Amino acid sequence: MWQFATPLLFLLLPLPLLVRRVLPAEGRVGGALKVPGTVAGPHGEADASAVASTGKTALAWIAWIALVTALAGPQVVLPAQALPTTGRDLIMALDLSGSMERTDFELDGATVRRLDVVKTLGARFIRSRAGDRVGVVAYADRAAVVSPPSYDVEAVARSLDGFVIGLVGRSTAIGDGLGLALRRLASTDAKSRVVVLLSDGVNNAGNSAPKDVARLAAEMNVRVHTIAMGPRALGETDYNPDVVDVQTLEAIASASGGRAFRVKTSDDLKAAIDVIDEIEPTRSIAPPAPIWRELWPWPAALAFMASAGTVLTRRRGP
């Protein structure tokens, strides 16, 4: 389907005629040399000059009409495939503390860091969420938005490639990470709002108590699914800095109506992600958004060539 962005600009087409009619005619009488007909030939120089003048006028009008057409913004609508949508905003709040450097997980038969497992499986999960508006928050000493909520799940998944330990500190501010995720969801009008909160430690930094933030999530009707990652849990062994606070993460999920998952291996994490993928509503199809292709460069190019032709004919004219 064709259309013009600003069709009223076609009212400018008769402007040259109006200008010629209103402004005084200057320079119409020139000092041209009159040549006798016997010298000029049967048709004479007057005929050649008339032809050249007609050509110049035609080129000028072509340039003007093409220029006005380009300014009017010709467009054509392209067929667009319907996009899946869920009406859901989902933010992954991921622990980026120093303990994520520990190499006590396996992935594809190799012993790797916890961070590598999260980056690989987290990116896979994000790519599976076509139709959701997905964002990523990283937290350690402080929390930061790594990728704002977007339907471009491929770009959001690639944002995990930039995760490095120390980017936002090395401690664990669970409350601040969850709080920042809730702030990003507070201004959205999504029908469903979800946070996937992953931690491998104990809250030991930040200004917000995790359980207080969980109550805020419940008030906002935001479901928080929590993933406690690590082979040892707080209370299961003597004091060890390398433990995860399973009880707090379970309390956060319970308060907000979400699910809590205990992850000790890469397979556990994959299974938890698969469950989260299943318990959220299924996707539906939204009406396709129109995509317009701008065609103004073509008449603009014609206007340029016609203008150049006018200049060249004037230089070669009598």
3-state secondary structure of 246: helix
Q: Does 155 score more than 60 pLDDT?
A: yes
Q: Does 304 score more than 80 pLDDT?
A: yes
Task: Tell me what pLDDT residue 54 has.
Answer: 79
Residue 26 Cα to chain centre, angstroms: 56
How would DSSP label each residue in 120-185?
HHHHHHHHT-BTBEEEEEEESSSEEEEEEEES-HHHHHHGGGG--TTSS-SS--HHHHHHHHHHHH
What's the pTM?
A: 0.65
Q: Does 30 score more than 50 pLDDT?
A: no
Q: What is the percent of the chain where pLDDT is above 70?
A: 82
Task: Tell me what pLDDT residue 23 has.
Answer: 76
d(CA 68, CA 175): 59
- What CA–CA distances, in Å, run from 43 to 46, 255, 307? 7, 99, 29
d(CA 251, CA 217): 12
What are the backbone angles phi and psi of residue 52, rounded to the nearest 5°? -65, -40
What mean pLDDT comes out for the span 35-46?
51
Q: Does 132 score more than 50 pLDDT?
A: yes
Give domain limits for the chain.
2-21+40-79+290-316, 84-285
Q: What is the dihedral of CA 121, 194, 154, 169, to 10 degrees?
A: -70
User: Where does the chain have alpha helices with state H?
Assistant: 15-22, 37-40, 44-72, 114-127, 153-158, 174-186, 210-219, 246-256, 266-279, 297-316
Task: Tell me what pLDDT residue 284 has.
Answer: 53
Q: Does 289 score more than 90 pLDDT?
A: no
Asked whether 230 and 200 are in contact (CB, 8 A), the reply is: yes
d(CA 34, CA 48): 14
d(CA 131, CA 105): 31
CATH superfamily of 84-285: von Willebrand factor, type A domain (3.40.50.410)
For the purposes of burial, counting CB atoms within 10 Å of the CB of 216, is it exposed (0-12), middle (13-18) or buried (19 or more)? Answer: middle
Task: Tell me what pLDDT residue 42 has.
Answer: 53
pLDDT tens digit sequence for 3-24: 888 999 999 999 888 888 887 6
Task: Tell me what pLDDT residue 97 has.
Answer: 95
Band of residue 190 on the pLDDT scale cut at 50, 70, 90: confident
